[in-house]
Amino acid sequence: MNQSQIIILEKTESTNQYALANFAKLTDSSLILAKEQSEGRGRRGRKWLSPQGNIYASFVIKKPLHPEQCTYIGAVSALETLRQYAPDVPFWIKWPNDIFTKSTKIAGILSERHCPENYNKSDGAVIGIGVNLNSGQDYFEYNRLHGTSIFAETGKENDIVTFAISLHSALIRNYKIAVDTPDLLFKTWKKENLLIGKNIDIIPESGFQVTGLFKDIGKDGSLLLILPDGHTRKLYSGDVSVKLK
Ligand code: BTN
């Protein structure tokens, strides 16, 4: 039987990059954990600053899943693990795949498809998860980041390997749910999206900011926005902010 494993790296460019480059050698459900990243990747080509003390991990998926299912696995697993470590802190999912506490981001997810060389069909994916674990408030202020961490919220430092073991268990559990009962995972992810029903501004991947009512989430994970003129627009990615009246 292929054993899922956790590979711990002192430092790498990006755990997503490492997992994609070594995809063929890695077993399904492996987790790559790095103590530090030199070229951490964020969504929409942004950088993900990655000093020591936080979680930088990538989970290997070798079964055929839709891209949005990777989002659900990553977001629900990060949320469950954060709740386990800080039960008194209110966490929620900000569409499509950020984890927030109150109005501040604490974790982000970047899923990337793997395509074998000379073959344009994907044979799997990696789910990259960054969780701010031990950075202090001064780190976010110094880097002008609107972020927080478990340490900043609770005053408690946590061991990254212990946290990664819990995260890995949650990822394996939710991966199985995604394969066996995908509707169940979708419902759990949707329930935690707290901006449904709110007036929002959204900057889509391509295009200009639009404003409207976040009406619902489609089965494919899309955001259904009611525009001021009453038309509905379906969006698959974007940066959402709450529109204050
Ligand atoms: C985002 O919110 O923009 C997504 C951030 C994802 C960061 C993680 S850290 C581990 C993995 N490796 C990377 O280079 N990025 C993801």
The atom number, within ligand 1, closest to the CA of 42 reads 3
Q: Which residues line ligand 1 (CB under 6 A)?
A: 14-16, 37, 40-43, 46, 48, 56-58, 98, 108-110, 128-130
pLDDT of residue 205: 80
SS3 call for 111: strand
State what percent of residues in the chain have pLDDT above 90.
87
The atom number, within ligand 1, closest to the CA of 46 reads 3
The atom number, within ligand 1, closest to the CA of 105 reads 2
Distance of CA 147 to the CA centre of its chain: 15
pLDDT of residue 116: 87
pLDDT digits (tens, 9 = 90+) for 34-68: 999 999 999 989 999 999 999 999 999 999 999 99
pLDDT of residue 55: 98
CA 95, 96, 99: angle at the middle one, nearest 5? 70
pLDDT-derived band at 1 (thresholds 50, 70, 90) equals very low
pLDDT digits (tens, 9 = 90+) for 205-236: 877 899 999 999 998 999 999 999 999 999 99
What is the 8-class DSSP label of residue 37?
A: B
Instruction: Indicate the average pLDDT of the chain.
Output: 94
The upper half-sphere exposure of residue 34, i.e. CA atoms within 13 Å in the direction of its Cβ, equals 22
